[in-house]
Amino acid sequence: MRRGGGGNGGSPVGVSHAVAVMPHDILVAVDDEPAAARAAALLAGDGHSVTTSVNVNAAIEAARDQPYSLIVLRTAQGSRAACGELRAAGVVSPLLVISPAKGAETRAAILDAGADACLAEPVDWEEFPATVRALLRRSLHAAFLPVRIGSLRIDPLRESASINGKPVHFSAKEFQLLRYLLANKGKILSRDRLLEDVWGYRATTTRTVDMHIAHIRQKLGLDSRRPKLILTIRGEGYVLKADDLVKMLQETV
Does 36 have pLDDT greater than 90? yes
The model's pLDDT over 103-123, given as tens digits with 9 standing for 90+, comes to 666 888 899 999 999 999 999
For residue 44, pLDDT over 90 is answered with: yes
Identify the DSSP state of 119.
E
Sign (positive or negative) of CA dihedral 143, 43, 133, 118: negative
206 and 247 belong to one structural domain: yes
Residue 73's alpha-carbon distances to 25, 56, 120, 158, 162, in angstroms, are 14, 8, 12, 34, 38
Burial (CB count <10 Å: 0-12, 13-18, 19+), residue 40: buried
156 and 112 belong to one structural domain: no
Shared domain for 81 and 181, answered yes or no, is no
For residue 227, the model assigns a pLDDT of: 46
Spatial neighbors of 90 by CB under 8 A, at least 6 apart, are 64, 185, 186, 187
3-state DSSP assignment of residue 168: strand
Which residues, including other chains, have CB under 8 Å from residue 108's CB and lie 6 or more apart? none
CB 167 within 8 Å of CB 44: no
- CATH for 54: 3.40.50.2300
Question: Which 3 state secondary structure label does DSSP give 98?
Answer: strand
pTM above 0.75, yes or no: no
Domain around 184: 147-251
User: 121-145 pLDDT, tens per residue?
Assistant: 999 999 999 999 999 888 776 666 6
- Output the average pLDDT for the chain: 79
Q: What amino acid is encoded at 166 in this protein?
A: K
Boundary (domain end) residue, out of 142, 171, 206: 142
Select from 111, 142, 173 the last residue of a domain. Answer: 142
Q: Residue 4's pLDDT is what?
A: 65
Nearest one of 134, 143, 133, 90 to 114, comparing CA atoms: 90
Residues 52 and 109 in one domain: yes
Domain count, the chain: 2
As a whole number of angstroms, the distance between CA 160 and CA 24 comes to: 26
34 Cβ contact list (under 8 Å, min separation 6):
none
pLDDT higher at 230 or 245: 230
Whole-number pLDDT of residue 201: 78
The domain boundary residue, chosen from 80, 109, 142: 142
Residues 42, 126, single domain; the answer is yes
Please state whether the peptide bond connecting residue 122 to the residue before it is cis, i.e. omega within 30 degrees of 0. Answer: yes
Q: Averaged over 12-21, what is the pLDDT?
A: 33
Q: Do residue 51 and residue 91 come from a single domain?
A: yes
Same domain, 41 and 77: yes
- CATH classification of the domain holding 157: 1.10.10.10
pLDDT digits (tens, 9 = 90+) for 54-105: 998 888 888 877 778 899 999 988 888 899 888 887 787 899 999 987 766 6
What CA–CA distance (Å, rounded) separates 183 from 177?
10
Q: Hey, which residues does 240 pair with through a beta bridge?
A: 230
Judgement on whether residues 137 and 154 belong to the same structural domain of the protein: no
